Structure 1
Amino acid sequence: MEGAEFRSIPVDAIQPNPRQPRTEFDEDDMAELIHSVREIGVLQPVVVREVDEGQYELVMGERRWRATKASRRREIPAIVRFTADDNLLRDALLENIHRSQLNPLEEAAAYRQLLDDFNCTQDELASRIGRSRPQISNTLRLMKLPPAVQRRVAAGVLSSGHARALLGLSTPEEMEELAKRIVAEGLSVRATEEAVTLAHQGASNGVSRGTNRLPSTARYQQLDEYAEALTDRLDTQVKITLGAKKGRIAIDFGSIEDLHRLMEIIGEQQRVS
């Protein structure tokens, strides 16, 4: 690796990256890693940068560093990189994203910090980290959830699909109320989306939310499969709803350029000005 060297470093001489986007560490996974480190050591070096003589800051490998401390090993193998401050968050984010270790809220917060720190657009960020523009946009929307719902998403109680569906409601109170029902009743994402649709219909007809009934999830099983297939094909969120007399397909796009991309995939070459 250019601009780097390998060293064995005292564990206590390393401090975590204060801008590390990941805040949650699975206890079972950590216990397994601690046991592995205690028995055979650290097989993959952590990556650090020197911030003062003999003092280092983590760039990558916080789980390995934590496990080494917990196993009471005194030293850890490390690659010392000469990394500028403005590269630290990007490096940590890329490592965690590509290892699928960030929960949706941590990922959203990291995207927001990258956008602010590097003063770039979502399209530029998508290009730099290898993510699609709609994926970044949809993830950032999760930060609009009320705190109580965000905590459920961060804990893995609610999926990002549930969270995006909840954003269709008008008020934080409605979002929190439906989030509780999702957990209590084990509602699927499809059932949640239909509950949101019914809430809008009830509001427009002057009907109390309490009188709305959730539709049977079995009725929409095939619609779920179609929506997932279109989401994968178009690389953006696709929703399919079915009413008494007609259905609807909703396709999310983040910008006119993203719309052009979708139209080209679908087969329509004419651009919208």
Structure 2
Amino acid sequence: MAGRKNGLGRGLDALFPDKKTASKENEVKFTAKVEKKTEPAVKVKNVKERTETPRQKKVPMMVKISMVEPNQNQPRKQFDEDALLELTESVKQYGILQPLLVSEKKDYYEIIAGERRWRAAKLAGLKEVPVIVKEFSEQELVEISLIENIQREDLNAVEEAMAYKRLMDEFHLKQDEIADRVGKSRTAVTNSMRLLKLSAKVQQMLIDEMITAGHARAILAVSDMEKQESLAMRVFDEKLSVRETEKLVKAVLAPPKEKKSHSYSAEDAAYENLEEKMKSIMGTKVLIHRKKNDKGKIEIEYYSRDELERIIDLFESIHN
């Protein structure tokens, strides 16, 4: 797997319009061992400045952890358990070094940035966590959450693609606008969203890191979902490189060689009948390749490991 890029932006200060006037005394300094993966900056454009009430000022306050809840609409669904456990150990020793950014709801606080710290705090058994309350409109909350997660280094490829799609569907942003907001090229956004054309099974293999995004993009050249899944399983089983996968896909897409034209004979009809009989028995495509002196070979196609195992079971039942 390719190494991840460094996080984008300049920190949580980018969220607040009063950055220039904020007192340095209120900043949280990292004087102890910091968490290994700090929350990246959120590059937010077109968020209007507003007059802040005392509860909206950039001043951390302690609240009961039971009063803080994650944003259910955020695109990130997968959390690295090992990394979370490492962060939990850091929180046990040093506490939460960077406050969570939250929005105040009717009877709880909803996390805008810092869910990983919140999860680690719960695992560490903390009763309270530091938060900074900031009020945004519902649209701004969703957009900030999406952009913050897209910029996060450990979003998987499918979650990132889904986030881009949601920005387009819900906020009618164009791909070049999305690219500008998240600090990526338009091509990167386009290639990411193309991954959603993969079958659900192949997408899950990508999430589970059975294949890489490079493998997935190569497989995208095949539109048939079953063939996509068969190719992905072969990539995983044979540990193929991206270059080898591209060659394999090219072979799959190559047009079949034209058979030499010849007159249709009774022998041709007999072999066609044999092919059809074998197809009905095997439940999949079967080809008989004839050679001279009544020799030849039989080709049986399968499109998934389950189907291969079914065919093997069929042979075993016939043998027994």
TM-score of the superposed pair, with normalisation by structure 1: 0.72
Deviation at 1:174, TM superposition (A): 0.8
Matches within 5 A, 1:132-147: 132-147=185-200
Structure 1 residue 195: Cα displacement: 0.5
Q: Which residue of 1 aligns with 2:128?
A: 75
Whichever residue aligns with residue 200 of structure 1, its letter is L
Equivalent of residue 205 in structure 1, options 232, 257, 263: 257
Equivalent of residue 212 in structure 2, options 129, 134, 159: 159
1:126 to 156, 179, 189: 179
Q: 2:154 is matched by which residue type in structure 1?
A: Q
Cross-structure match for 2:7 = none
Q: In structure 2, do the counterparts of structure 1 residues 170 and 119 end up closer, same or farther at CA, with 3 Å as the change threshold?
A: closer
**Residue 48 in structure 1 maps to residue 121 in structure 2:** no
Equivalents in 2 of 1:124, 1:148: separation in Å? Answer: 30
Q: In 2, distance between residues paired with 1:186 and 1:99?
A: 28
The answer as to whether partners of 1:89 and 1:114 remain within 8 angstroms in 2 is no
Q: Do the aligned partners of 2:151 and 2:182 also contact (CA within 8 Å) in 1? A: no
Give the aligned partner of residue 24 of structure 1: 78
Q: Is the counterpart of residue 148 in structure 1 residue 167 in structure 2? A: no
Is contact 2:147-2:181 (8 Å) kept? Answer: no
1 CA distance for matches of 2:258 and 2:217?
25
Query: Matched residues in 2 for 1:170 and 1:71: separation?
Result: 47
Instruction: Number of aligned residue pairs: give it.
Output: 208
The question of whether the paired residues in 1 share the 8 Å contact of 2:235 and 2:245 is answered with yes
Taking every aligned residue pair, what percent have the same amino acid on both sides? 40
2:113 to 55, 60, 81: 60
In 2, the alpha carbon distance for the partners of 1:206 and 1:170 equals 23
Instruction: Kindly state the Cα deviation for residue 206 of structure 1 after the two structures are TM-superposed.
Output: 6.2
* Aligned: 1:102 with 2:179: no
Match for residue 168 of structure 1?
221
Q: Which stretches in structure 1 are left out of the alignment for 5+ residues?
A: 212-273
**Native 8 Å contact 1:21 1:89 kept in 2:** no
- Tell me what 1:39 maps to: 93
Contact 2:150 2:182 in 1 (8 A): no
Where in structure 2 are the equivalents of 1:178-193 lying within 5 Å?
178-193=231-246
Cα distance in 1 for partners of 2:105, 2:111 equals 10
Structure 2 distance, partners of 1:124, 1:131, is 10
Q: TM-score, normalised by structure 2?
A: 0.62
Assess if the C-alpha contact under 8 Å between 1:38 and 1:71 holds in 2. Answer: yes
Q: Which has the higher helix share?
A: 1
Shift of 1:114: 0.8
The amino acid of 2:180's aligned partner reads: S
Q: Does 1:14 align with 2:68?
A: yes
Residue deviations 1:118-167, cap 9 Å, x none? 11211122122222111111111111111110101111221111111111
- Could you list the runs of 5+ residues in structure 2 that have no partner in the other structure? 1-15, 19-51, 260-286, 288-298, 301-320
Q: Distance in 2 between matches of 1:120 and 1:81?
A: 24
Deviations 1:218-256 (A, max 9, x none): xxxxxxxxxxxxxxxxxxxxxxxxxxxxxxxxxxxxxxx
Matched with 1:271 is: none
The amino acid across from 2:106 in the alignment is D
2:112 counterpart SS class: strand
CA deviation vs aligned residue, 1:159-192 (integer Å, no higher than 9, x gap): 1111111110130111100100111110011110
Q: Hey, which bits of structure 1, 4+ residues long, moved more than 4 A? A: none
Question: Which secondary structure does the structure 1 equivalent of 2:179 belong to?
Answer: helix
**Other-structure match for 1:236:** none
RMSD over aligned Cα, in angstroms?
Answer: 1.9
More divergent stretch after superposition (85-94 vs 109-118)? 85-94
1:89 aligned to 2:142? yes
Q: Which has the higher strand share?
A: 1
In structure 1, distance between residues paired with 2:154 and 2:140: 19
